[in-house]
Structure 1
């Protein structure tokens, strides 16, 4: 698939009529690699990641009683900029009401910029008493989610720790 030329934070949400892996479907025929490759290629070409769902994993069902099929074909795809700007957002899979698709509910909470926008690591903070323990405590506190989500949140979480240490060095001088 072609590359989109979208700049800045952006996302796509909805029914992609495609699964990304064989575990995304129960029932029906076996999923082939070719069925997954178009959506995966599109995501790769546009640097998109899939957002985790809260709720039932499967978002669609054929609602048949004899050969029921469940699949995860609805979701949210976004670039890293969007995830960075919406770190506290959640995507919920709500029960289907009138459709064979579940409703997706995005509770989006855009990131509010603080007075400083970039973290600059100042090597001298490593000399602050307790530096290693404070950074380890911040970094090692468990987070659940996709690897990129975990990385972003750990970096965000360690930022104020480093900022406080840097501020204490400035005040001490």
Structure 2
């Protein structure tokens, strides 16, 4: 069970929708929170259908700014508690799990209005005692180390946000991966990077999901990176036998067919079960090298996507689409 949060800076472009398709294909999240959707409900509805999700709540953008949406895979797993132009608050009920709250939050971008976001968090904290996690673009930082480049972040904003989390007994979750989630002026003298996107959780949530992790997905078509929240992470320990798993992407490699044909044709007298075991063993050894190649290819695709993101010329758009297609061929 996982959640993706992304300030997409508009869902009206084909490359934003394509990118969302790719990360859903790769990470298979149960929930997606989107902010600054910059579109109407019918556009989000079409994306929900495209992704094959059943549940959706949308607060449409106001003019040429804002807008938030929550999508979830199985309709019965979430119910709406409250919403506004800056948040969507859900109750999550999944069979075999304790109920909890999942809130998508879009903090006021105007620093003069940050206190409104802080008050919203305080108000939400009083409405339920369920384990609670908030995720999104909170447009605030907790220390000067959350910012690289540019002027010092105003100390009163840092202190104010800290006090909100303390008053509401919320803990800032550690971010795995690149430490900044938003940037401006990439590769220029005015390059600024800030961790504006984050997840904060109640102690009861962290006690319930002790292996939870928050990851910066880094690559994006927006100026914000998507975050991946995984409340339950399986940690392997002790001695175990690793099961063979066939990767669909291997089907595009000619060598895969050759390995299977050679074993099947040269195993005279062996049962079909023995042939399958032999195929599994040989594919597992060969697959380690191929999987490593997949990782290299994925990283190369991501590098190109990061370079061309935000560009609007025809060549950049075409290159972005080609790299996304490569990623989908690897992940499927």
TM range (shorter): 0.5 to 0.7
CA contact (8 A) 1:63 1:100 kept: no
CA distance in 2, matches of 1:30, 1:54: 24
Pairs aligned (count) = 111
Partner of 1:24: 146
Query: Kindly tell me: are residues 71 and 44 of structure 1, through their superposed partners in 2, closer, same or farther at Cα, counting changes over 3 Å?
Result: same
Query: Kindly tell me: are residues 110 and 54 of structure 1, through their superposed partners in 2, closer, same or farther at Cα, counting changes over 3 Å?
Result: closer
1:48 matches 2:170 = yes
Q: Give the unaligned 5+ runs of structure 2.
A: 1-117, 235-332
TM-score, scaled relative to structure 2: 0.32
Task: Spell out the pairing of 1:21-170 with structure 2 (5 A cutoff).
Answer: 21-64=143-186, 65-109=188-232
CA distance in 1, matches of 2:233, 2:218: 26
The runs of at least 4 aligned residues of structure 1 exceeding 4 Å deviation read none
1:9 matches 2:107 = no
CA distance in 2, matches of 1:98, 1:21: 27
Query: Displacement of 1:96 after TM fit?
Result: 3.1
Higher relative contact order (CA 8 A, sep 6+): 1
CA distance in 1, matches of 2:209, 2:196: 22
Q: Give the unaligned 5+ runs of structure 1.
A: 112-173
CA distance in 2, matches of 1:46, 1:107: 22
Query: Displacement of 1:102 after TM fit?
Result: 1.0
CA distance in 1, matches of 2:205, 2:191: 36
CA distance in 1, matches of 2:185, 2:212: 30
CA contact (8 A) 1:85 1:110 kept: no
CA distance in 2, matches of 1:59, 1:110: 22
SS in 2 for 1:98: coil
Residue by residue over 1:11-36, the C-alpha shift from the partner in whole angstroms, topping out at 9 and shown as x without a partner, is 10011101111111011111232021
What is the root-mean-square deviation of aligned Cα atoms in Å?
Answer: 1.8
CA distance in 1, matches of 2:193, 2:232: 30
CA contact (8 A) 1:75 1:104 kept: yes
Query: Displacement of 1:82 after TM fit?
Result: 0.4
Query: Displacement of 1:38 after TM fit?
Result: 2.2
Residue by residue over 1:130-164, the C-alpha shift from the partner in whole angstroms, topping out at 9 and shown as x without a partner, is xxxxxxxxxxxxxxxxxxxxxxxxxxxxxxxxxxx
